[in-house]
């Protein structure tokens, strides 16, 4: 059936692996069937307009697969065997592989056709009024759907090249009033290429210069430029940089427009033509100004979001503790915010020395992943520290019981889960973990030989329920060179998989990494185990005991 379809078609299973491909796909991508089948379709093929892999969390095609829905995308990029990228639209729709096995059909079709070649360069047909309206609508949709400044700049370049020009140059004014050439993109062999050599800091904006870019960066109206515009004696450092830009790029015509935000001038967009023989005219400027007006609103929003994100990240850094030094024991921690939150949340970890020489270890999760959850998390963590320090020799269950009582009457957090442990070195030179678990995923103990087991004892109710029950304690010996992993549920939970699937996946991967250095161990777990469709933050606290002979 696939071979009867003229459009390039892939069949993928519910894990995203390619199980079949027709001849049209092989011709389009230049890969044989053996080079396609068995590989992850997203990892192998999906790229951004610079040829870089698309993050899984931003892949609409993969999301459609996970939700078993029919979706399509316009003019995205896919990798070919020869290393180039192909611009193509796609359609994905559910497809049954058998009586029970689900999957999807992926169709790649309709890359934008261009006009016949003129010399070595393809010249796009002039835009009709309908094309202009479509461009403005797409600009609004594309730029308002991201809150990442750099992503917005790349989208703006991809919208204008090659549709309007062969080059897109974006200069931004920073919050300190300095100018930076943030992005230079060229169309080269039908692929967008970023020119890092032309990017970087720019000279200050002169106050009186009549040159087009200087005027645009001061907020003046758009204007046209040619190499001749900058051939006379330069009136500023920016004029020198513009002369270099025209010389290096070979642009024979350019249109320059300011990018205005709600209150300030954010920068300027320069569109240049080097391959296309037709020059920009004054008739092109209204469309360019409409594009930059929409770009300005989107960049304003993205900058505001980034400022808020930096505040949130600063807050998070202050909320999360520095790990103590435990002689002989290696300890590492990681925190990854929820993808769609403000970079803070209710997941937390802690480790600190106790008055009796033992060390407390804690991992927890306050309901939510926003600023309110972060505030509740800080209260819970600080109260736990106070209770644990004042009752240094108390069982972990007694400390958590007292914390549970305080949460119901003092702390603003509604509910929380946590594991609290005491790390103690015994007379036999072996480390022991005494712990209690308040509704949290169980700790994972990984032996150096690759055996791994969950510590499922001492499991009790989560905090904040109002139910009073005796909390259990447990103790286990941590073998020499073993790894103890405390984590939050964002590492193993997925809307489309059972928690047992996530726990089994974590156990298998952790076992395979038993001899990795702890930094590599943590990073590999986050990369390989954390679900792609995860919308929760993740905290990890990992320690490794020394070899027995090191205890001497």
Q: What is the pLDDT of residues 168-183, one digit of tens each?
A: 999 999 888 899 999 9
Q: What is the pLDDT of residue 42?
A: 87
The tokens of 484 are what? 């103890």
Tell me, letter by letter, the H, E, C secondary structure of 428-455.
CCCEEEEEEEECCCCCEEECCCCCEEEC
Rounded (10°) angle between helices 129-144 and 285-319: 10
Q: What is the pLDDT of residue 113?
A: 37
Q: How far apart are CA 182 and CA 168, in angstroms?
A: 11
Burial 245-270 (b: 16+ CB within 10 A, else e): bbeebebbbbbbbbbbbeeebbbbbb
Spatial separation of the C-alpha atoms in residues 537 and 312, rounded to whole Å: 14
Hey, what domains does the chain have and what are their CATH numbers? 2-109 (3.30.450.20), 118-308 (3.30.450.40), 320-551 (3.60.40.10)
Torsion of CA 53, 58, 64, 67, to 10 degrees: 120
Q: Which stretches of 337-457 are assigned E, i.e. beta strand?
A: 347-353, 359-366, 416-425, 431-438, 444-446, 452-454
Q: Chunked in runs of 10, what are the mean pLDDT values of the chain (552 residues)?
A: 76 88 86 89 82 78 80 81 80 77 79 37 62 83 83 90 92 90 89 91 91 93 91 89 93 94 91 91 92 90 77 65 90 81 70 92 81 74 90 92 86 81 94 96 96 95 88 96 95 86 94 94 92 80 86 42
pLDDT (0 to 100) of residue 318: 64
- Tens-digit pLDDT profile for residues 355-385: 888 999 999 988 765 666 667 777 888 899 9
pTM flag (> 0.75): no
- H or E stretch at 37: none
CA dist., res. 178 & res. 205, Å (int): 8
Q: Buried b vs exposed e over 80-116: b needs ≥16 C-beta within 10 Å?
A: eeeeebbbbebbbeeeeeeeeeebbbbbbeeeeeeee
Residue 106 forms beta bridges with which residues? 10, 92
């Amino acid at each position: 059936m696939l071979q009867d379809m003229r459009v390039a078609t892939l069949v993928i299973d519910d894990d995203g692996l390619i199980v079949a491909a027709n001849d049209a796909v092989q011709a389009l991508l230049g890969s044989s069937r053996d080079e396609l089948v068995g590989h992850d379709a997203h990892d192998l093929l999906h790229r951004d307009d610079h040829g870089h892999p698309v993050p899984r969390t931003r892949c609409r095609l993969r999301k459609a697969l996970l939700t078993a829905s029919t979706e399509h995308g316009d003019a995205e990029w896919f990798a070919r065997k020869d290393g180039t990228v192909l611009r193509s639209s796609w359609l994905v729709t559910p497809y049954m592989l058998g009586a029970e096995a689900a999957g999807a059909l992926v169709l790649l079709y309709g890359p934008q056709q261009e006009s016949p070649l003129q010399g070595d360069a393809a010249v796009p047909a002039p835009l009709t009024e309908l094309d202009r309206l479509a461009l403005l609508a797409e600009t609004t949709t594309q730029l308002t759907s991201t809150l990442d400044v750099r992503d917005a700049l790349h989208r703006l370049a991809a919208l204008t090249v090659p549709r309007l020009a062969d080059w897109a140059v974006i200069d931004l004014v920073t919050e300190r009033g300095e100018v930076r050439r943030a992005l230079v993109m060229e169309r080269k062999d039908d692929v967008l290429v970023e020119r890092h050599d032309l990017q970087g800091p720019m000279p200050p904006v002169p106050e009186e210069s009549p040159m087009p870019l200087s005027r645009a960066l001061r907020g003046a109206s758009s204007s046209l430029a040619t190499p001749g515009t900058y051939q006379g004696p330069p009136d500023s450092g920016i004029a020198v940089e513009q002369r270099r830009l025209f010389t290096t790029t070979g642009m024979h015509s350019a249109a320059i427009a300011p990018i205005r935000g709600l209150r300030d001038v954010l920068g300027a967009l320069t569109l240049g033509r080097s391959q296309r023989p037709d020059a920009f005219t004054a008739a092109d400027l209204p469309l360019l100004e409409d594009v930059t007006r929409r770009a300005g609103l989107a960049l304003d929003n993205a900058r505001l979001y980034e400022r808020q994100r930096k505040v949130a990240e600063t807050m998070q850094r202050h909320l999360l503790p520095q790990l103590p030094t435990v002689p002989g024991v290696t300890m590492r921690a990681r925190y990854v915010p929820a993808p769609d939150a403000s970079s803070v949340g209710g997941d937390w970890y802690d480790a600190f020395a106790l008055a009796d020489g033992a060390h407390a270890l804690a991992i927890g999760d306050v309901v939510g992943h926003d600023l309110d959850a972060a505030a509740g998390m800080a209260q819970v963590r600080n109260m736990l520290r106070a209770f644990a320090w004042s009752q240094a020799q108390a069982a972990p269950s007694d400390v958590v019981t007292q914390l549970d009582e305080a949460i119901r009457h003092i702390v603003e957090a509604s509910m929380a889960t946590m594991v609290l442990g005491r790390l103690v070195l015994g007379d036999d030179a072996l480390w022991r973990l005494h712990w209690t678990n308040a509704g949290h995923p169980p700790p994972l103990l990984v032996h150096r030989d690759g055996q791994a087991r969950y510590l499922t004892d001492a499991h009790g109710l989560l905090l904040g329920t109002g139910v009073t029950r005796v909390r259990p304690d447990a103790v286990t010996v941590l073998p020499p060179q073993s790894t103890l992993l405390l984590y939050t549920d964002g590492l193993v939970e997925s809307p489309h998989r059972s928690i047992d699937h996530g726990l089994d996946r974590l156990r298998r991967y952790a076992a395979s990494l038993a001899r990795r250095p702890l930094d590599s161990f943590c990073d590999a777990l986050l990369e390989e185990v954390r679900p792609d469709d995860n919308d929760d933050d993740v905290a990890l606290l990992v320690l490794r005991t020394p070899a027995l002979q090191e205890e001497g």
